[in-house]
Amino acid sequence: MKYREALRAALDEEMGRDERVFCLGEGIGERGGSYKVTEGLITKYGAGRVIDTPLSEAGFVGLGVGAAIAGRRPVVEILFVDFLLLAMDQVINQAAKYHFMSGGEGTVPMVIRTQGGTGNSLAGQHSQSLEALYYHVPGLKVVMPATPADAKGLLTAAIRDEDPVIFIEHKLLYMTDGEVPDGEYVIPLGRADIKRSGSDVTLVAWSHMVLKSLRAAEILAAEGISVEVIDLRTLVPMDVDSILDSVRKTGRLVIAQEAVKRGGVASDVAAIVAERAFDALRAPIIRVAGYNTTIPFNLALEKASVPQVDDIVAGVRTAVGATASARS
């Protein structure tokens, strides 16, 4: 099943299971969405549950927040994560804080599905990796699946969750294929997945960087370097224990993120490990991340601005080489 088909399956099953679930966003009804995730759902569930909205992110995200507070379970689609910036007050000051400021009596069970990352020369205003913005805000959960199976299982869990969830899908993942379990399939939020076991280096990644990390691990295996690839899957809540357990086994940590290095989630992962497993480290922590630059339109420059497989390979070699130098 393709990644986008897995997302559609989750939406379809949850809309069929729970009449409170509905979708809204720009062009998601008759057009089936720009990425065809909601294709066919309006025919099955009608325009009252698959709602085409005006081009007003602030308006329909606010509608979603209000509907969630009133007892519905909206799934809001934002065409690009860059456009979610137009609704930051609704997300950060309203959705994220309502449960706390209502004394725990109110909830906002909504999902904001959006896509981010580079690819296809869409330039600086359509190519950002902004997960760190939402990762920073208490009250929000942040999910970034890398595979079709994880996309289905995590979206199902996100729709059923009582908290607002920012669900970020990388634009280059929609057409990727993978095995997906039939029927109801739920992956609890907050559980990382070891996509490849290894003994020499822990490589932590999420979203599209997981695929690049797995390819890097294959290259490194031919050199005799055993890489353990951990897919965080959810940034909030984060499965810190899985990271620490792996680092205590391998003694080395490399973190790969597409977002710019400054102020990124990779920095927080590095700090957590430094605080809680410093004695296990046999080499400095390596962050492989995007340059601190606006994403260029030119495809060659776009690729150069974010980590590629060779960059991850180089980062792991550095971690292993630093250990070897320290021993000599």
Known catalytic residues? 57, 126
Q: Which two tokens stand for residue 308?
A: 């590629």
Whether residue 165 contacts residue 64, with contact meaning beta carbons closer than 8 Å, is answered with no
User: What does DSSP assign to residue 227?
Assistant: E
Residue type, 9: A
Q: Which of 116, 117, 33, 50 is nearest to 81 (CA)?
A: 116
- From CA 187, how far away is CA 192, in angstroms rounded? 10
For tokens 């930051």, what's the residue? 88
Residue type, 83: F
Strands 73-78 and 21-25, by their bridges, are parallel
| 260, 261, 267, 270: CA torsion to nearest 10 | 120
Polymer length of the chain? 328
Whether residue 210 contacts residue 192, with contact meaning beta carbons closer than 8 Å, is answered with no
Residue type, 114: T
- Most distant CA pair in the chain, distance: 69
Map residue 236 onto helix, strand or coil: strand
Verify cis geometry, omega within 30 degrees of 0, for the bond prior to 284. no
99 half-sphere exposure, CB direction, 13 A CA radius: 16
Whether residue 74 contacts residue 68, with contact meaning beta carbons closer than 8 Å, is answered with yes
